[in-house]
Amino acid sequence: MRLTILLVEDNSADADLLIESLSTDSFSKAWQFIHVERLGKALQCLEQQSVDVVLLDLSLPDSHGLDGITQMQTVAPYVPIVVLTGRDDTEMAIQAVAKGAQDYLVKGQISTQLLTRAIRYAIERTQIFKQLKASECRFRAVFDQTFQFMVLLSPDGIVLELNQALANVEASRLDALLHSPIWETERWGYAEPIQQWMKNAIAAAAQGQIVRDEIQVLSTQGELRWLDFSLKPLKDETNKVVLLIAESRDISDRKLIEAKMLQTLEQQQALNQLKSDFVAMSSHEFRTPLTTIRMATELLEKYSHKLTEAKRAQHFERIYAAIASMLHLLDEVLLLGKVDAGGLHYEPAPLELTTYCHDLIETLQLTTKSNHKIIFHCSDEPIQGEMDQSLIHHMLTNLLSNAIKYSPDQGAVWLDVNCQSDCVKFQIKDEGMGIPLQDQQHLFETFYRANNVGKIQGTGLGLAIVKKCVELHQGQIQLSSDVGIGTTVTIMLPRFCAATSS
């Protein structure tokens, strides 16, 4: 097939010379010339027919300089241009090549050989450029159309390019992202350990390793998102790492679902444990009060007439106490079951703690039949907070009941409440029997009781309930105790808690 050469030259002598020099070439049958004298005509020709190469004079009647190249490239981007210049125009010719012309030839110095070679090379280079362009287009399509975030990095971690999916998300901070070390970008640089992790990952990938992990980064909205992140090295034919490809996928939603499923599973396991513990202990815990009730009712039924008024009252008292103990146990089990089934909710509301604690102590002193003194300390100022009153009630009544129950009659029990910056500190103290060291770590487990309780009644559920109430408030609990000296429980709760949990 013959190649079509478009010669754009207004000087007919120069044009003839060129056409002639190619006609003498042994391959002359391979060429066919179209000769025009103006740029306008040349552009028309490019629009209308296929041309393999353009020989372009830079000084034409309707165009002078580099503008002609630009116009031609707009009309026919893949047609190679070889520029023809005069002896004193070499500077402009070099600029023409920088603009995309394939080569330049200086008039008066053109030999047939030189011209043939320039044309052939120009066509070949354009073919290669076209193939590269097509390959680049295919790469771009994959790089930009994927839903994954992709970044190309130099082996030392400098961001070279990012794909469209990431560019869309990072639009507001794109400039700061490109050409910076990836660990210094906002997404990765928000915390020192993450920066260090990324530096190590880059170093490992630069050594040829593939790195993959689940990691948290900072989104443009300022929230932490989970990414499934991988870093792969790309090697050249000498096995040298020349590029790192970072890929990531936002897996925050999946993580959330996983965490919820795990939480449900844990709740279910705790509930099952509670149920089996309850079954295991109920035979004992219910048998004792039920035996008391049966014996007392039998006595009252059969020998009521022989009993004194005081004796009868004593039996009734025993029946009520046994019923109260069973009800207490049922209440505690039901409450814990509710927590484990996710049914006990944290519902904060404004609460003034000074008045609330005064009232609670008053009620407690009336209802417990002990002769303990509850000493309440708090600041003179009202302590205003936002807490769940029902959870605070379970927490304080259980701890104060323990302090009373496990310290000698007539003893004193202290409740201190005060504010510490944005927290409220509750401290419940007694000078009772204390708790042996080996028991202390198990006290918050359900049905656990220390080995020094003797005949003091209890089911071992109170502290487990207290712990759940503290956790629902996102607070902290600490217990310190010495046998024979006493026990102090300290609880720190956020004064205003925004987060809600179940």
Which residue do the tokens 């496990």 mark?
Answer: 406
Question: In the complex with ligand ATP, which residue's Cβ is closer, 94 or 453?
Answer: 453
Question: In the complex with Mg ion, which residue's Cβ is closer, 289 or 462?
Answer: 462
* CB 492, min distance to ligand ATP, A: 19
* CB 323, min distance to ligand ATP, A: 15
* CB 428, min distance to ligand ATP, A: 8
Q: Which does 426 bind (CB under 5 to 8 A by kind): ligand ATP, Mg ion, none?
A: none
Question: In the complex with ligand ATP, which residue's Cβ is closer, 95 or 282?
Answer: 282
* CB 392, min distance to ligand ATP, A: 16
* CB 463, min distance to ligand ATP, A: 3
Residue 423 phi, psi dihedral angles, 5° rounding: -125, 160
Among 17, 104, 24, 109, which residue's Cα sits nearest to residue 35?
A: 17
* CB 218, min distance to Mg ion, A: 45
> In whole angstroms, what is the distance from residue 58 CA to residue 38 CA?
11
> In whole angstroms, what is the distance from residue 168 CA to residue 310 CA?
86
Among 248, 244, 247, which residue's Cα sits nearest to residue 157?
A: 244
Give Cβ neighbours of residue 181 (< 8 Å, ≥ 6 apart). Answer: 156, 157, 158, 159
* CB 444, min distance to ligand ATP, A: 8
Q: Is 481 in the site for Mg ion (CB under 5 A)?
A: no
Choose which of 462, 475, 486, 494 interacts with Mg ion (CB under 5 A).
Answer: 462
Length of the chain: 502
Which parts of 395-434 interact with Mg ion (CB under 5 A)? 402
Could you list the beta-strand ranges (E) of 90-141: 103-106
* CB 280, min distance to ligand ATP, A: 16
Question: In the complex with ligand ATP, which residue's Cβ is closer, 421 or 451?
Answer: 451
> In whole angstroms, what is the distance from residue 345 CA to residue 501 CA?
7
337: which 2 tokens? 């079951």
Give Cβ neighbours of residue 434 (< 8 Å, ≥ 6 apart). Answer: 452, 481, 482, 483, 484, 485, 486, 487
Pairing of strands 211-218, 476-482: unpaired
The DSSP code sequence of 360-427 is HHHHHHHHS----EEEEEE-SS--EEEE-HHHHHHHHHHHHHHHHHTS-TT-EEEEEEEEETTEEEEE
Question: In the complex with ligand ATP, which residue's Cβ is closer, 277 or 430?
Answer: 430
Cβ–Cβ under 8 Å, residues 55 and 84: yes
Question: In the complex with ligand ATP, which residue's Cβ is closer, 464 or 491?
Answer: 464
Q: Which does 449 bind (CB under 5 to 8 A by kind): ligand ATP, Mg ion, none?
A: ligand ATP
Q: Which does 432 bind (CB under 5 to 8 A by kind): ligand ATP, Mg ion, none?
A: ligand ATP
Cβ–Cβ under 8 Å, residues 221 and 252: no
Q: Which does 433 bind (CB under 5 to 8 A by kind): Mg ion, ligand ATP, none?
A: ligand ATP
Question: In the complex with Mg ion, which residue's Cβ is closer, 332 or 340?
Answer: 332
Residue ranges in contact with ligand ATP by CB under 6 A: 332, 398, 402-403, 406, 430, 432-435, 443, 449-450, 453, 458-464, 487
CA 233 from chain center: how many Å?
A: 25
Cβ–Cβ under 8 Å, residues 345 and 335: no
Q: Which does 385 bind (CB under 5 to 8 A by kind): Mg ion, ligand ATP, none?
A: none
Question: In the complex with Mg ion, which residue's Cβ is closer, 315 or 394?
Answer: 394
Question: In the complex with Mg ion, which residue's Cβ is closer, 150 or 491?
Answer: 491
* CB 484, min distance to ligand ATP, A: 11
Give me the residues that bind Mg ion (CB under 5 A), please.
402, 462
